[in-house]
Amino acid sequence: MSTDPRRRVPRTDTLLADPQLAAAAGRLGRDLVKAAVQEVQQRVRDGAVAPDDAVGAVLAGLPATPSSLRPVLNATGVLVHTNLGRAPLSEAAVQAVVAASGTTDVELDLATGRRGPRGEAALAALREAVPAAEAALVVNNCAAALALVATALGGELVIARGELVEIGDGFRIPELLEATGARLREVGTTNRVALGDYTRALGPGTGAVLKVHPSNFVVRGFTRAVEVAELAAGLAGTGVPLVADVGSGLLRPHPVLPGEPDLQTALADGADLVLSSGDKLLGGPQAGLVLGRADLVQRLRRHPLHRAFRVDKTTLAALEATLRGPRPPVQRMLAADPAGLRTRAAALAARLAAAGLDAVAVDAQARVGGGGAPEHPLPSAAVSLPAEFAAPLRAGTPPVVGYVADGRTLLDLRSLAPADDDALAAAVLEVARRWT
């Protein structure tokens, strides 16, 4: 009798015909399941998997979906974490995306059977949320909004030197603006700018005055900036639009973030257009929001570049649900009660300590993230574990991302919903089990 180990390896067609694997192929795609089968076959050849266990090994190695993106428990304390996809969508927004994922009336008037206005309900929700806005437009992110403004308004853009900022991953505002063909007229110095610097720079070729919120840094000391209200008053009668990029997507003033600019206030103070992200403090999908004067919004809408930046039906659905539905997760995190966070941390730490782990509850400081409110740490609470837990927690299922400080792994609870506490505890206990 041959002892060739290759004879013990289940055939590919036999494995793929197994009812469980056939069902998985229908859900995930045949190619993905076949690749998993071939990997397990090699493990059978190597003696790591018994031939009779091949089907179970294949099933264990299959992902939940065909996408490589994995749900992650965000225990970093950063509410809007760019590397973790920024704002988690509300359940209402998720349901809206599912409902919109098939054929929808996104651009059809069902009453007449003719083409209708695209995304009108989402735009109406934006106008209701920001009453100072005459009109609204949605593009695929805030950088797209800025590029569209620079292109459609044309000419020379007047901007303070201290607002020519760089944000994440080397992205620089002046490089984006120059890529549109706009000419920049820099005014003031890196630390000080006055109203007269702006007004003296105006000329026949001025397309707009642009004010950009620095977002992720603060300059202290001998400084001066011109706020929107002062700048709007100084531009009155010139015909030059004032465009304010407020960045974070805060709709109205928030008591937890007193220094963060918001859309409603910027427009009420005299900005002609305001720009922001939809997936930061607003708590919705990735989007760039443009609100303000109806004539300027229409000018952007009719520009050919707008078509390239147009959002899809699922983004419109998620945005409308975020605006009209219950508070999204980011806003709930922002409003979390520190006492409640400490209670959760104490309960989790006690649960883990009862299983023999070195776990304690500690106070922590969370952050808004996404370039917002860099000088406004948020009081929070965390579960403290040995530093060695950080890497295996990231490699677990689901991955848990915390941070290491002072030789300890900290799992901050402000960036996690209370409903995630059981999953967090289970992930930590599983890491501990594998170690023992």
Position 140 scores a pLDDT of: 95
What integer is the mean pLDDT of 226-237? 96
Position 1 scores a pLDDT of: 43
Position 69 scores a pLDDT of: 85
3-class DSSP state of 85: coil
Strands 378-386 and 360-369: antiparallel
Tokens of 304: 């050919």
Position 198 scores a pLDDT of: 96
Percent of the chain at pLDDT exceeding 90: 81
Residues 120, 139: Cα–Cα separation, whole Å: 13
Residues 431, 84: Cα–Cα separation, whole Å: 21
Q: Are 300 and 105 in contact (CB under 8 A)?
A: no
Read off the DSSP letter of residue 328: P
Nearest to residue 182, comparing CAs of 145, 147, 214? 147
Q: Which has more pLDDT, 330 or 66? A: 330
Summarize pLDDT for 73-114 with one digit per residue, the tens.
999 999 999 999 999 999 999 999 999 999 999 999 999 999
CATH class assigned to 73-83+332-435? alpha beta
DSSP string covering 407-418: TEEEEESTTS-G
H helices present in 210-290, as ranges: 228-235, 263-268
| pLDDT at 3 exceeding the cut of 70 | no
Given its phi and psi angles, is residue 77 left (phi above 0), alpha (psi -120 to 50 degrees) or beta? left
Residues 255, 334: Cα–Cα separation, whole Å: 10
Nearest to residue 185, comparing CAs of 204, 172, 169, 213? 204
Position 16 scores a pLDDT of: 93
| pLDDT at 411 exceeding the cut of 80 | yes
Q: Which has more pLDDT, 147 or 6? A: 147
3-class DSSP state of 170: helix
Q: How confident is the model at residue 57 (pLDDT cuts 50, 70, 90)?
A: very high
How far, in Å, are 30, 99, 413 from residue 26 at the CA level?
7, 22, 38
- Burial of 423 (C-beta count, 10 Å sphere; 0-12/13-18/19+): middle
Position 67 scores a pLDDT of: 82
Rounded to the nearest angstrom, the gap between the alpha carbon of residue 412 and the centroid of all alpha carbons in its chain is 19
- Give φ, ψ of 345 to 5 degrees: -65, -40
CA dihedral angle for residue 391, residue 394, residue 395, residue 400, rounded to 10 degrees: 140
Q: Report the 10 Å Cβ neighbour count for 116.
A: 15
What integer is the mean pLDDT of 203-226? 86
| pLDDT at 279 exceeding the cut of 50 | yes
Summarize pLDDT for 119-129 with one digit per residue, the tens.
999 999 999 99
Summarize pLDDT for 154-185 with one digit per residue, the tens.
889 999 999 888 876 777 889 999 999 999 99
Q: Report the chain's terminal Cα–Cα distance, integer Å.
A: 42
Tokens of 120: 């009108």
- Give φ, ψ of 158 to 5 degrees: -90, 125
Average pLDDT, the chain: 92
Position 170 scores a pLDDT of: 74
| pLDDT at 429 exceeding the cut of 90 | yes
Tokens of 376: 């406004």
Question: Which CATH number is 89-327's, of 3.40.640.10, 3.30.420.40, 2.60.40.420, 3.40.630.30?
Answer: 3.40.640.10
CA dihedral angle for residue 337, residue 339, residue 345, residue 348, rounded to 10 degrees: -100
The answer, as to whether pTM is greater than 0.85, is yes
Cis peptide before 398 (omega within 30 of 0): yes
What integer is the mean pLDDT of 375-402? 93
Q: Is the dihedral of CA 340, 342, 347, 351 positive or negative?
A: positive
Q: How confident is the model at residue 434 (pLDDT cuts 50, 70, 90)?
A: confident
Position 376 scores a pLDDT of: 78
H helices present in 29-172, as ranges: 30-45, 54-61, 91-100, 120-129, 142-153
Range scoring the smallest mean pLDDT among 49-53, 409-413, 431-435: 431-435
| pLDDT at 404 exceeding the cut of 70 | yes
Position 7 scores a pLDDT of: 66
Residue 117 neighbours by CB under 8 Å, 6+ apart:
107
CA dihedral angle for residue 293, residue 251, residue 136, residue 147, rounded to 10 degrees: 90
Position 372 scores a pLDDT of: 67
Per-domain boundaries in the chain: 5-61, 73-83+332-435, 89-327
Range scoring the smallest mean pLDDT among 169-173, 239-243, 303-307, 327-331: 169-173
Q: How confident is the model at residue 132 (pLDDT cuts 50, 70, 90)?
A: very high
